[in-house]
């Protein structure tokens, strides 16, 4: 279900947004919808504490690893070997 949102802008700000929309061949409403979508997607999901806890937990695990150049070389050898996965 769609909802209507009313936003009050000062005239100069409204004209600037209107120009930006026109420059992209968009309606003002579509420009605003896309701007709100971009702003929403930039918002982090989850709390910083929860993300840090996940990183700390992962860092505590023992995993086989190597120098990045060694790992990349091994990956490339695997690609060029032509053997099926």
Residue 3 falls inside a structural domain: no
Residue 2 falls inside a structural domain: no
In the chain, the N- to C-terminal Cα span, in Å, equals 47
Measure the CA–CA gap between 85 and 79, rounded to whole angstroms. 10
Residue owning tokens 């709390």: 47
Residue 85: its pLDDT value, please?
A: 55
Residue 64: its pLDDT value, please?
A: 75
Residue 76 falls inside a structural domain: yes
Residue 5 falls inside a structural domain: no
| H or E, element range at 78 | helix 68-80
Residue 61: its pLDDT value, please?
A: 86
Residue 57: its pLDDT value, please?
A: 92
Residue 46 falls inside a structural domain: yes
Measure the CA–CA gap between 32 and 5, rounded to whole angstroms. 11
Domain count for the chain, please give it: 1
Query: Tens digit of pLDDT for each residue in 10-64?
Result: 999 999 999 999 999 999 999 999 999 999 999 888 888 998 999 999 888 887 7
Q: Which range marks the domain in which residue 34 is found? A: 11-80
Residue 23 falls inside a structural domain: yes
Residue 1 falls inside a structural domain: no
Residue 6 falls inside a structural domain: no
């Amino acid at each position: 279900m769609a909802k209507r949102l009313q936003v009050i802008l000062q005239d100069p700000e409204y004209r600037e947004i209107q120009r930006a929309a026109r420059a992209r061949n968009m309606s003002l409403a579509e420009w605003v919808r896309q701007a709100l979508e971009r702003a929403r997607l930039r918002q982090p999901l989850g709390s910083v504490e929860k993300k840090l806890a996940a990183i700390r937990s992962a860092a505590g695990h023992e995993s086989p690893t190597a120098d990045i150049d060694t790992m990349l070389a091994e990956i490339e050898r695997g690609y060029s070997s032509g053997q099926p996965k």
